[in-house]
Amino acid sequence: MSSEEGVRATNDDAAQCKRYAVDKGYWQDPYIKLFTSRGQQNHAPEISIGYYARVKGLRMILEKFLTVTDGKCQIVSIGAGFDTLFWNLKDAGINVTSFIEVDFSAVTSRKIHSIRRSQVLLQKITNEDEEIRFSTTDLHGKDYHLVAANLKNLKDFNKKLGECGIDKTLPTIFIAECVLVYIEKDCTDALLKWTVDNFSTVFFVNYEQVNMGDKFGEVMMENLRSRECMLHTEYCASIDTQIQRMSSQGFEGADAMEMRHVLYRLPQNDVMRIQRIEFLDEQELLEQLMSHYCYCWAYKDPNKIGLGDIGL
């Protein structure tokens, strides 16, 4: 397996874990099953709770961004994989000016294949007056775009965003869930700086590993390495290094939170509900897992529309 294949395979893992948790009732997502099978394996409840906090935490941040911008904004999901956020937002009656997903061509072509064969998915992308434009790797609908680009190549990435009709003067949120950690430091530095330099008003939310300097972190790295997947953890030492990374690339403000704390920021009646779904053998393992992932967010808001107030 090449290292790119190893990285791409993390998308299949994420999609299967989400599908498994959704089937168990952790949260609702009628679309994930249209992109992935459930798989053979049983997953530990800690994993499903981790995904629950990841999905709900992101939604919480995103909804605050949507309120501040009144939906007149763009969402750019980088390394989007088989994520279903676009369809779930539509179900909630949430429309934005433009929703753009970017991934390697081998991933986007599989996603396009799933979309093309599902009326349920297609319905949310089309409208009566406009045709969807397809190629094997790129799809352009009215307000949804799925394009292939390697995030390490900013020229290509910029060109693909241009083909989606991106407006760099419109408030834009970039979402990176478990993506930057697979890309070399110099390239992620350049990518973050590029978003700050090119967009007038921008919010960036990043989900990835943190506190990786201990034994647990070492084991996590080793597991992925054995699957040809290198983690680039220079910024994953602590919450502080995560925040500093954002500030040093020019964001005006940044903050971050370990997932074990995020769990307490979510509606507690629902957290109690999901904790009853499966028996947790060891609370300690959950704590450990959740202290090795975080959300980090950063913004540039020259017109003070309120991006600085967004957080968990």
Ligand X SMILES: C[S@@+](CC[C@H](N)C(=O)[O-])C[C@H]1O[C@@H](n2cnc3c(N)ncnc32)[C@H](O)[C@@H]1O
Q: How many Å apart are CA 220 and CA 6, to the nearest integer? A: 15
Give the one residue of 68, 179, 246, 298 binding ligand X; rule: CB under 6 A.
179
Contact between 206 and 109 under an 8 Å Cβ cutoff? The reply is no
Residue span binding ligand X (CB under 6 A) among the ranges 35-43, 112-120, 128-136, 174-182:
174-182
DSSP per position, 279-301: --S-HHHHHHHHTTEEEEEEEE-
175-194 CB burial, b ≥16 within 10 A, e <16 = bbbbbbbbbeeebbbebbee
Q: How many Å apart are CA 289 and CA 50, to the nearest integer? A: 8
Asked if residue 107 binds ligand X (CB under 6 A), the reply is yes
33 or 308: whose CB is closer to ligand X?
A: 33
104 or 297: whose CB is closer to ligand X?
A: 104
Nearest-approach distance from CB 179 to ligand X, in angstroms: 4
Residue span binding ligand X (CB under 6 A) among the ranges 2-10, 29-37, 118-126, 219-227:
2-10
3-state secondary structure of 128: coil
Asked if residue 150 binds ligand X (CB under 6 A), the reply is yes
15 or 66: whose CB is closer to ligand X?
A: 15
Q: How many Å apart are CA 222 and CA 262, to the nearest integer? A: 26
Q: How many Å apart are CA 90 and CA 196, to the nearest integer? A: 28
14 or 294: whose CB is closer to ligand X?
A: 14
Nearest-approach distance from CB 102 to ligand X, in angstroms: 6
Asked if residue 177 binds ligand X (CB under 6 A), the reply is yes
Q: How many Å apart are CA 279 and CA 47, to the nearest integer? A: 13
Residue span binding ligand X (CB under 6 A) among the ranges 100-108, 210-218, 255-263, 283-291:
100-108
Give the one residue of 45, 50, 57, 81 binding ligand X; rule: CB under 6 A.
81
Q: How many Å apart are CA 206 and CA 176, to the nearest integer? A: 5
Give the one residue of 8, 19, 145, 260 binding ligand X; rule: CB under 6 A.
8
Nearest-approach distance from CB 174 to ligand X, in angstroms: 12
Asked if residue 10 binds ligand X (CB under 6 A), the reply is yes
- The CA angle 312-43-105, to the nearest 5 degrees, is 70
160 or 260: whose CB is closer to ligand X?
A: 160
Burial classification of residue 205, based on how many CB atoms lie within 10 Å of its CB (0-12 exposed, 13-18 middle, 19 or more buried): buried
Nearest-approach distance from CB 303 to ligand X, in angstroms: 29
Q: How many Å apart are CA 96 and CA 74, to the nearest integer? A: 6
Nearest-approach distance from CB 222 to ligand X, in angstroms: 17
Nearest-approach distance from CB 177 to ligand X, in angstroms: 3
Asked if residue 51 binds ligand X (CB under 6 A), the reply is no
Q: What are phi and psi of 10, to 5 degrees?
A: -65, -25
Binding site for ligand X (CB under 6 A): 7-8, 10-11, 14, 79-81, 83, 103-104, 107, 150-152, 177-179, 182-183
